[in-house]
Amino acid sequence: MKAVIRPRAQDDILRQFRWYLVEQDAADAAFRFVEAVEASVEQLVRMPNIGAPRELRNPALKGLRLSPVKGFDEFLIFYVVAADTVRTIPILRDVDRILKKESDDDDKVH
């Protein structure tokens, strides 16, 4: 089994790397993020069915799964297994978690 990181996923990884590096001035976090993505993708290659399945209407995304980036659980790797390849789609923040946190924060009185 092999991994293919699609261009949009590569862009997402680079964008987050730059955010840690430039916006947060956190070089350690930037490099740890990239290493965590690589390790997470390697794990998916070894065990492609560990990710949670997602059902979508788009036939091109049949069999879509998602799995968190280790150590950066707010980021999810979306991927499809086809033949002997794990194809990653964008690496995104966990929208459900962000919305729940946003909702919880709104309820607090300051």
Q: What is the mean pLDDT of residues 78-102?
A: 74
More confident residue, 57 or 19: 19
pLDDT > 90: what percent of the chain?
Answer: 51
User: CB 76: neighbour CB atoms within 10 A?
Assistant: 24
Helix (H, G, I), strand (E, B) or coil at 56: coil
Query: By C-alpha distance, which of 67, 8, 20, 79 is closest to 40?
Result: 67
DSSP one-letter code for 69: E
Catalogue all structural domains in the chain, each as residue range(s) with its CATH number: 2-107 (3.30.2310.20)
Instruction: Dump pLDDT digits (tens) for 40-84.
Output: 999 999 999 999 998 888 887 888 899 999 999 889 999 999 888
Query: By C-alpha distance, which of 68, 12, 7, 14 is closest to 40?
Result: 68
